[in-house]
Amino acid sequence: MTVVAATMNPATETSSRAQEALDLRPPMEKYEKTLELNKTKSTIDSASDSCNLAASDLVTAMGQYRHANLVAASEEALLQGEEAMKVFKNEAMKASEVATKATSKIEELKVANKLLVDENARLQAAE
């Protein structure tokens, strides 16, 4: 049986370490973005639930109160619905900002990856 001794090229070892470091970064960034998006989705779901609750309150009021009380309950339900929509719009804007930042970060990572690929090719050509 023949044993072949492996020799490490310092340039290859360095680029491997750099690649390992880059391989570890995107999952963390993806995890952070996922947390932000989940938080935003949760808030949007909460705003939607508030709209549904306001509508439910109106239906309940229709069955229980006279006309004057029904008008007041209807106005209150509309106000609650408008507030819920404001929250929903704000959260949608935040989600859009998160998506824009994520897209920007992806573009930065693509550029960094291309630079690493080019550098790796240059180092291999120099060998």
What pLDDT is attached to residue 26?
A: 54
Region 46-56 average pLDDT: 69
In Å, how far from its chain's centre is CA 8? 40
Rounded Cα distance, 118 and 80, in Å: 57
What pLDDT is attached to residue 92?
A: 87
| 63 in any annotated domain | yes
Band (pLDDT 50/70/90 cuts) for residue 95 is confident
Mean pLDDT score of the chain:
72
H-type alpha helices, the chain: 10-64, 67-126
SS3 6: coil
- Top-confidence residue, 31 or 110: 110
| 119 in any annotated domain | yes
Q: Domain span at residue 41?
A: 36-126
pLDDT surpasses 60 at 99? yes
Which of these, 50, 53, 52, 70, lies nearest to 61 by C-alpha position?
Answer: 70
CA angle 113, 117, 119 (to 5 degrees): 115
DSSP label of 65:
S
| 68 in any annotated domain | yes
- Top-confidence residue, 72 or 1: 72
Q: How many domains does the chain have?
A: 1
| 28 in any annotated domain | no
